[in-house]
Amino acid sequence: MHGATQPADEPETGAAPSGGWRGALRRAAGDTFRSLGVRNYRRYFAGQLVSQAGTWMQTVSVIWVALRLTDSGVALGLVTAAQYLPVLVLGAWGGVVADRVDRQRFMIKTQTGYTIVAIAYCALILTDRLSIGFIYVLSALFGLLTALDSPTRRTLVVDLVEPELTPNAVALHSAMMTGSRVVGPAVAGALIASAGVEWCFVVNAVSYVAVLAALFSLDRSAIRSSPKVRRAKGQLMEGLRYAWGEPELRQSLLLLAVVGTLAFEYQVTLPLLSERTFGAGAGGFTLLYSLMSVGSVTGALAMARRSTIDLRFLLMGAWGLVVTTTVLSLAPTLALATVAAVGVGAATILLPAGLSALVQLRSADEFRGRVLSLSTVVFIGSTPIGGPIAGWVSERFGPRAGLMLGAVGTALMAGWITFTQRRAVRARAALAPAAKPEPETRIS
């Protein structure tokens, strides 16, 4: 029977042997978090975790203030559109910038810009001057910074570790980003209910100190920077042609475009679901958002243990999103909706994080920033299109219909890609006899 005997030199303390479940847990944790052994990555990770939690506090607070000011789903969609329209328009150019600049120094500039926006929010809400017009303007400025910061930030993650750690570093970065969505909305909900929504903006402004300190403290000699692309005409179109010419990248980007446009509109649908369907107010909204983020962290940590990411993995995430979003949209009570939200979060992270890892692994070094920026454009930049659509559908037919819109759109695109993948497999199988004329070499 397992555990009936123990080595003679085993200490008689009842401790499990190194090969037992505790040893297995330690090895699993070491494998999952191995990138944190790199000093530069660890410092960057810690600074981003604090700052991103503050950012999500601001995000949910802006949405809640906008809803209170307007009581309109369309207005929520327009706030979201204002934040992400610059990403749609300028995101691809941001990738060109990421391929040209010193990424650490450039991020210091973008994070300083975010800090200025956060301070502006603080000043306006503390003086009772934060109107829906100011929200539109500051959301657009935030989006402009995101268009420049996102491809640079995601490329810098890879520069901080060795190539063999790339999938793990990307997955942990995604887990950190989604983990901040657990802490941020949860703290925001508590502050809104107790001290007031204005303190969410104050905490966010202070949180930028952490990421700026981390960026300034990085050891530049240990940063593994890719060769910088020299300024030249046509670099944006060159990146577009490269991504379109790679079938796996092309289909992945198309999938993420549909999902980003129709499904990832939770900043619009979740507050309306909480307020109008369940009557749960800000507490219900932040609870749903936080639990969805718990699922995202779980999915990201599971992905961190994978050594390869491919299109099949992204399709698995897409079909999971279809099922879980459908369940969320049909949940009869808030309690059941919170359970479904965890599943939605686990499915959602597999798509953007999976595509980011796929791009890092499959793209040529000189195109990495531009292809990453395209993934940002199709995922985040599609929100100005999808946000108002989701807001209108939720306003006209109810928040449940706004959620189902995303599930149906995702199912159609995932179904088409699945069909084309299977057709390609059958075509290769039909050519297999010609490619392998000797029967004994065929693998059953």
% of the chain surpassing 90 pLDDT: 29
Does 289 or 270 have the greater pLDDT score? 270
Helices of type H across 331-398: 334-362, 368-379, 383-397
Distance from C-alpha of 337 to C-alpha of 343, rounded to nearest angstrom:
10
Does some domain include residue 3? no
Does some domain include residue 4? no
pLDDT band at 381 (very low <50, low <70, confident <90, very high): low
Spatial contact of 391 and 74, defined as CB atoms under 8 Å apart: yes
Closest CA to 341 of 331, 351, 355: 331
Distance from C-alpha of 33 to C-alpha of 297, rounded to nearest angstrom:
13
Report the pLDDT value the prediction gives residue 16, as an integer from 0 to 100: 44
Is 90 exceeded by the pLDDT of residue 347? Answer: no
Is 90 exceeded by the pLDDT of residue 406? Answer: yes
% of the chain surpassing 70 pLDDT: 84
Question: What residues contact residue 157 under an 8 Å CB cut-off, 6+ apart?
Answer: 41, 44, 169, 170, 173
- pLDDT tens for each residue of 36-61: 889 999 999 999 989 988 998 898 89
- pLDDT tens for each residue of 176-191: 876 676 677 778 878 8
Report the pLDDT value the prediction gives residue 425, as an integer from 0 to 100: 80
Does some domain include residue 263? yes
Average pLDDT over residues 255-269: 86
Report the pLDDT value the prediction gives residue 443, as an integer from 0 to 100: 35
Does some domain include residue 41? yes
What's the chain's average pLDDT? 81
Spatial contact of 234 and 68, defined as CB atoms under 8 Å apart: no
- Supply 183's token pair: 């802490």
Does some domain include residue 22? no
pLDDT band at 3 (very low <50, low <70, confident <90, very high): very low
- Supply 279's token pair: 């009557």
Report the pLDDT value the prediction gives residue 227, as an integer from 0 to 100: 60
Does some domain include residue 328? yes
Domain count, the chain: 1
Report the pLDDT value the prediction gives residue 103, as an integer from 0 to 100: 87
Phi, psi at residue 123, to the nearest 5°? -60, -40
Does some domain include residue 23? no
Domain span holding position 347: 35-220+234-426
Does some domain include residue 116? yes
The mean-pLDDT minimum among 32-36, 127-131, 143-147 falls in 32-36
- pLDDT tens for each residue of 215-229: 999 999 888 866 666
Q: What CATH number corresponds to the domain at position 343?
A: 1.20.1250.20
